[in-house]
A = this chain, B = another copy of it.
Amino acid sequence: MVNWGIISTGDNATKFVKDLLIDPSTRGVHDVTHNLAAVASSTSLQKAQDFLSAVNAPPSTTAYGSYESLLADPAVEIVYISTPHSHHYQNARAALLAGKHVLLEKAFTVNAAQTRILVQLAREKKLFLMEAMWTRFFPLTLYVRQFIKDGAIGTVQRVVADRNLGRDIETLYGTEHRLVNPALAGGALLDLAIYPLTWIFQILHHDSPLASGTVRSPPHVSSSLVKYAPTGVDETATVIVTFPESKTQGVATASLRVASDPTHPGVRIFGDKGQIQIFGPAARPLSIAVVAYGEGGPEMVEREDFEIPIGHGLFWEADACVRYLLEGKTESDVMPLDETLLIMDVMDRVREENRLKYPAEVEAH
């Protein structure tokens, strides 16, 4: 059993905690249990208490009216942080300095420099640190990656992944909402493109075989952002990532404004012998189709649903965290820190190419 502390009482924290409180046996998991030790609001004890009522937390859970007090609680072993991106760096840094393990929501930080410092700090203090890229821990995702490793679609050549909200952002978000607010590091890139990018990196980087003795070169990045005029953050982001050794390309598209047909696969993985199509949002994949290119043309060889038994699907990453801690591991092999850092570097490049800067205090480190 591991004792969780939760920093933030927002929507993501609610979903995460609800998932944490589900009996793991409902998802066939028997080696892991979670304890909700504490929840903190940054501003008011009342908010934290309301949160505990709303999620039906066990009476043993402590409510805190500041993050500092939660971090000072010796009962808390690992902290889950789901504040806005703009605050990830300072929140995670404080948690690590307080000696806590950390599961930090994506985008991990605002820029790669902040990530680099957190990674170094966690390694120095031998604390667990991971980007909360829940998508990587879905049974569907693990299945797809193994399926590709088994050669089912031949050599992978391209990954195209898409994540759109389709929102009327003027009406819905105005200028203050975190998704469009530069002071909160808003925009499509950090919030949405991170999912297409994680698909691209796990397939074309993480699982891409490298000839022995070869040093992997950094990927080449080409990108274009469409800015949201009222605030200057990106409402649409398109990123091409090219991997020099494998000569493969990933194309990530993401938009607050563009709508997309959810019956269409949000992720497509192109191999020379076939294609995997992933349905459901790129963040929360729900089913796959496999098309094989045979002599007689393309043929659907598999269509499989991967149901989320109960809850939202955030528990799989939480289970993984507990296992890492029980095994004494301080990094994940599914979402390694070096890969988080590489992806942050890519997003830095995209922002640089497109002259997207957040306020100095947000970029500071």
Contact = CB atoms under 8 A, between A and B. Distances in A.
Given A224-B249, A249-B226, A293-B166, A260 B272 contact: no
Interface stretch (A64-72, A120-128, A171-179, A251-259): A251-259
Contacts of A255: 157-158
Interface in A251-286: 251, 253, 255, 257-264, 268, 270-272, 275, 277
Interface stretch (A45-53, A73-81, A234-242, A304-312): A234-242
A166 B272 contact: yes
Contacts of A262: 297-298
A246 to B, nearest CB: 9
Given A224-B220, A224-B222, A353-B222, A270 B259 contact: yes
A56 to B, nearest CB: 30
A226 B251 contact: no
A291 interface: yes
Nearest to A258: B157
Majority secondary structure of chain A interface residues (helix, strand, loop or mixed): strand
Contacts of A268: 264
A223 B240 contact: yes
Interface string A189-225: 0000000000000000000000000000000101110
A288 to B, nearest CB: 13
A314 interface: no
A242 B253 CA distance: 13
A247 interface: yes
Interface residues of A, number: 42
Nearest to A229: B247
B220 A247 contact: no
A337 interface: no
Contacts of A224: 220, 222, 240, 242, 249
A95 interface: no
A291 B263 contact: yes
Nearest to A300: B263
A259 B293 contact: yes
Contact of A253 (B158, B258, B259, B260): B158
B261 A240 contact: no
Nearest to A353: B222
Q: State the 9 A-B residue pairs at the shortest beta-carbon distance, nearest first.
A: A222-B222, A224-B240, A224-B242, A157-B258, A222-B224, A261-B291, A226-B247, A238-B240, A261-B298
30 contacts: A157-B236, A157-B259, A158-B253, A158-B255, A222-B223, A222-B240, A223-B240, A224-B240, A224-B242, A226-B242, A226-B247, A226-B248, A226-B249, A235-B247, A236-B247, A238-B242, A238-B249, A251-B253, A258-B270, A258-B272, A259-B270, A259-B271, A259-B293, A261-B275, A261-B277, A261-B291, A261-B293, A261-B298, A262-B298, A264-B291
Interface of A: 157-158, 160, 164, 166, 168, 220, 222-224, 226-227, 235-236, 238, 240, 242, 247-249, 251, 253, 255, 257-264, 268, 270-272, 275, 277, 291, 293, 297-298, 353
